[in-house]
Copies of this chain bind each other. A is one copy, B any other.
Amino acid sequence: LRTGQAEVIFCQGKQPDHIISILKHLGEKDQNVLGTRLDPQTAELILAHFPDAIYDRLARCLLLRPLSEPTIPGKILIMTAGTADLAVAQEAWLTARYMGHDVDTLFDVGVAGIHRLLGQRELMDQAEVIIVVAGMEGALASVVGGLVEQPVIAVPTSVGYGAHFQGLAALLSMLNTCASGIGVVNIDNGFGAASLASAIVRRITRHQ
């Protein structure tokens, strides 16, 4: 009844024991599992029970088993404005790869140095859908949206300070984009962006 994405566990606010028993239960079905928003302390407790599991400190995600090779055709491109947005990009990357997708990346192409971005046209052209991860003023989403015809998924990050209000500035910026063809997900929600990208790419694949 639920989609294939149901094996992604949102770990924030769950007790370690609870997470372990879900992992055990799902793992028995010979299924890989992804756990998101898992802090390092809890991860350590969990890793002790699963010898093959891997914890990605940057993305704060856990994988019950290593990733397999991509099985679904159609590239997803993940772009970031700054290096501080990498954690969120990594959550998106892991999620997309875990769901079987082929993922390209293009990091640190923020709008304060627009020429770096413009030099990467080819990578953009090769993607079916583009995920733009940006904090600060989040302007990268608009610039990319204006350059490409593909659907763009914008992920505001909490990277910033002061009047950034933990990502609100980037979120509002992206919702008010003057470009078209852009959908927005929650602040820091790399998982959500990858899920939407996956739904789009799987739809394309289904028609091939």
**A residues lining the B interface (CB < 8 Å):** 1-6, 8, 10, 12-15, 18, 37, 58, 81-84, 87, 110-116, 118, 128-129, 136-139, 142-143, 145-147, 149-153, 156, 158-189, 191-192, 195-196, 198-200, 202-204, 207-208
Contact = CB atoms under 8 A, between A and B. Distances in A.
A171 B167 CA distance: 14
Which secondary structure dominates where chain A touches chain B? mixed
Contacts of A147: 114
Contacts of A15: 58
A136 to B, nearest CB: 4
B142 A111 contact: yes
A110 to B, nearest CB: 5
User: How many chain copies does the complex carry?
Assistant: 8
Nearest to A11: B84
A115 B82 CA distance: 22
Given A139-B137, A151-B199, A203-B129, A175 B181 contact: no
Contact of A138 (B143, B161, B173, B195): B173
Given A83-B18, A176-B163, A203-B128, A196 B183 contact: yes
B203 A188 contact: no
